[in-house]
Amino acid sequence: MTNTQTDLEKVSKYATEIIEELENVRELVKNCSVKIGEHLQELMKKNLITIELSPQGRPLNRNDIDMKKLEQVQTVQRLAKQQQELMEFIAKTEQLVLKIESNAALSFSDLTGVTSQMKQWCDGLETLEEQKKRKKEEKEAEEMKKREKEDAERRKVEEEERKKREQEDAEKRRKEQEEREAEEKRRKQEEEKKKRDWKNWPPFIYYNTRQNKFRQEICCVIYTMPDGTQESDFVCQGSDAVEDLDKCLETNDEQIISPVITIQPKKGKMTFELPMRVYVPIVSHDQCLLPTLKLLIKGQKWRSGKSLPEIHLPKVKGVSFVGVEIPINQFESIQCVAVARHKRHEMEVDEEGKVFEPEVDRNIKVKFPQRAFAGKTIVATKAVPWTHADIKIASKKYKELQNIKTAGSYIDISCENSTKEESDLELYDFGWVVDKNVQKNQSVNQETLNRCSRWVVNNLNPDENALQLNDVFDSDFVEDLKTKETDGDKNRLILRHLHDSDADSDFDKFLVGLKSSQPNVANRIISVKHQVKQSRKTENTDAEDNFASDFDPDFEKKEGTICVVSKLTGKSWEVVPIEASEEHPKARFLKLPSGNDKYQVLGLVVPDNMSDEDICRAAEILEGLKCVTNVSIICRQKHTNPHEVIIECVKSENVATIMQHLDSIGYNDGPAESTEFGVVDGEEIEIKFESNLYLERLKHSLLKIKFYKHLPSNRYFEHLIVVSKAEQGEDSNYHGYLKYSVTPGRLALPRTGSLVVYVPKPLDEIIENFPYTLDVPVKALAKFIAWQLTSTNFNSTKWVVLGGYLTDRDSHLYRQICKHIDEQAERAPQRERCEHFILYWANHHAPSDSDRIEKIITSHHDPNLESEAHQFIKPYLPGKGLFSNDSLEKMSFAIAGEWESMAKKLGFPNDEINKIKNSQPGAVKQTLRMLDLWRLSDSAIQKGTDLVKNFHETAKSAQCGAKLLTIISKNVN
């Protein structure tokens, strides 16, 4: 009992201590519970306590469990269990304490229950070693947790850095991708741009399969965008046939500079995304003309496409090309041809109409009203300026131009379609018609503006940025200037303001500002002003004309009446009514009648009394002056056969060269070239022969020559036939007329002329039945021997001995001959008696079969005299003798044109020359008579053996032709 009491006291004491600490324990338990709950929530959040199914239903193994997490879970479970046991111990202790406080009966089981509960709880508590171990483990766990936290933070940082790197890498890859895509896009755009740039397109070069008259190897060059089109997809052919070329010409100023090229696809219609480009090789042409490639599409009218820049092919040198863009995408077939012509200003006019000034001349304004055309129509305008020098030169050839002057430019308006409504043409500044009274009142500046106004209107840039307007003009004027719709109107307003200004300072300020902005215009005006000052110092009319010429077409001195002539489609020139303008005194306005597609207009200053017919005639001439090529007709005959001729139409500048070439090939006879006349491309020159000659090939038909300036001229080899040999019988030549004329059509101006062509008659025809002196060798020898024997004494009788030998010493015959001489010439000198004796013997007593010449010579019985006689008589002997009949005929033809000069050198007096001219028809027969007389004249005979040599010298002194000198020189020893 004592022991029990003691135990109870201890328990009571312990219970009291427990009660005292109860509150602290409760607080600790509460805190521990909270912490345990927090730890459990944290574990749950971290998915440390999860229920997972094993993959594919297999049981979990050690590899599937995180052992660290497992230990943490076990620790938490242990703490929870301790907490539960502690709570149970506290509850039992509280029950025990309550019983003690209430003096309730206590049982041993109450004590053992508390004791066992305490022991159970204590058993669950850790020992010191366990505590140390726990603390160590907790420390290690704390350090591990710290490390894990640090590792987690590090991993977090690394993860963030990784994610950042990934983001950066992703961003970099995105940008790189975008750049690659942008670069690819740029590359594709560049490729597309390059693909669409024609300069990168491969040229398809097509060659002519045969030689053409333009001497071009290349037919054409085609550019198409690389879209699978091949060079073999096209067929290109060129034609230089005149019938094809003729169809291409539209205006008189056009000159063909290439063949007509036909381009066709091999396999039907072709489609192009971009228009194809065609280039054609051209020949050289006048620099004042613009090369243009014209198109013919589907049988429509010829039209000019968009001109293209020049090309240079690497393997093609020395060839110029002109190109055009084909304005179609559906390609079937086109024809194109290159022409050189004056520059045109092309403008598209639709149903709304249009007002415009051609780029080539702002002094012209064209006004098409609404509905002037049914649809869009291309209108091409050209303006060709005239100069004082042009008219002055032309007036020398055409008397119709001697009293007129041009006013303004020659204007040509060509419309793609005929007009439906009447239109207007305004011609400004025809030139300054001089009124001396007005001129006296003009200041130097005003006269300067009048003289160069046309040029300034065309060359001044009226843009506000190009002129210092505010320094010269007030704001109202500047605003008014902005309302003008064309540059020409603006420039005319500026010039009129400067002209009407009372102060010269405005002009001077304007000129100063112009020097910096537009020096070329300023310098021109300053130059004209200087000339004005110089011209005012003299009253010389020639100086005034020279001044006008220097600055033409700016100004011409014109006195007379201004008129305008017009030529409509298919009609002739006519004088048309014009209206003057108060606002523009030097302008004239006229109407363009509807129903036409071509208008030609020309302003003229004519004498007051000049008729309309003469004015229109002058206009016809002027129309052609700016477009014609001057040519001449050549007809050359072959020297060895004058029936063979070459006929050719030759440009004037080439006449000398062609003549020289024809001379070199033996065609050096015939008339000189024809008078120069003008033709345009496509005109036809007709040639025919009249009178007594015609062409064998053509009979009496026309020889037609088609003219194209840049084609080699055709050379016609023809044979002349004499119509009637009975005609022109008395002449030494047959002759006919080569008559030429240009077929009217392209130019209305008539051009005709003729050449005289001679064909020498054959010798036998010319000298047929010519009365030659008979028995010339005997007569010449008789004269020579008579002179030979009496050369020292005119009355010497030495010849008597010769007479004896000649009659073979037959005294009867000798006396008989002498008796006859006495009857005929009793008182004649001995020289003459000797000559008569020899001739009478030769004619009446010489044996018929004897050689009379040799008998006469050997009758000398003197070797020296015989030798001299033999030498003398050689030129007279028939056959090759220079003075035989045959040779006389040849020499007559050689000097027929200059025989009178030769006759005078040979000693013929004028009355004898006239007697020969009257006795014989034609120069050849007259020459023949002259030589026939001279060869037996005393002057010829007495030259003796030097006769031929002396005749040669005489021919040279008479300046006879080479042909005669050649004939003579062959006989000179």
Lowest mean pLDDT among 385-394, 669-678, 830-839, 867-876: 385-394
Q: Please provide the CATH number assigned to the domain covering 628-761.
A: 2.60.40.2660
Q: Name 627's bridge partners.
A: none
Return the CATH class of domain 198-342: mainly beta
Cβ atoms 409, 386 nearer than 8 A: yes
Question: What pLDDT digit, counting tens, does each position of 113-150 carry?
Answer: 777 766 766 666 656 676 677 677 778 777 877 887 88
CA dist 106 and 94 (Å) reads 13
Which has more confidence, 149 or 658?
Answer: 658
Q: What is the mean pLDDT of the chain?
A: 83
Other Cβ atoms within 10 Å of 533 Cβ, number:
12
Is residue 286 pLDDT above 80, yes or no?
yes
How confident is the model at residue 644, as a pLDDT?
A: 96
- For residues 110 and 98, the answer to whether their CB atoms sit within 8 Å is no
Q: What pLDDT score was predicted for residue 30? A: 61
Predicted confidence (pLDDT) at residue 544 exceeds the cutoff of 80: no
User: Who has greater pLDDT, 39 or 655?
Assistant: 655
- pLDDT tens per residue across span 83-113: 777 777 777 777 777 777 777 666 667 667 7
Note the pLDDT tens digit of each residue in 921-933.
778 888 888 988 9
Mean pLDDT of all residues in 888-908? 86
> Cis (ω within 30 of 0) for the bond into 553?
yes
DSSP assignment of 354-410: EEE--TT-TTEEEEE-TTSSSS-EEEEEEEEE--HHHHHHHHHH-GGGTT-EEEEEE
The answer to whether residue 434 scores a pLDDT higher than 70 is no
Q: At what angle do helices 776-790 and 799-806 cross, to 10 degrees?
A: 140
Q: Which residue has the higher pLDDT, 33 or 488?
A: 488
Residue 469 has what DSSP assignment?
G
pLDDT of residue 535: 80
The helix (run of H) or strand (run of E) holding residue 906 is none
Q: Where are the domains of the chain?
A: 2-125, 198-342, 379-623, 628-761, 776-969
User: Is residue 9 over pLDDT 70?
Assistant: no
Q: What one-character-per-residue DSSP string does 314-342 give?
A: TT--S-EEEEEE---SEES-EEEEEEEE-
Rounded to whole angstroms, what are the CA distances from 60 to 66, 228, 429? 12, 70, 113
Q: Write the burial class of residue 164 (CB in 10 Å: 0-12 exposed, 13-18 middle, 19+ buried).
A: exposed
Which of 134-143, 164-173, 562-571, 875-884 has the least mean pLDDT?
134-143
Q: Is the pLDDT assigned to residue 595 strictly greater than 50?
A: yes
198-342 with 628-761: one CATH topology? no
How confident is the model over 43-90, as pLDDT tens digits?
Answer: 566 555 554 444 455 555 555 556 556 666 676 677 777 777 777 777
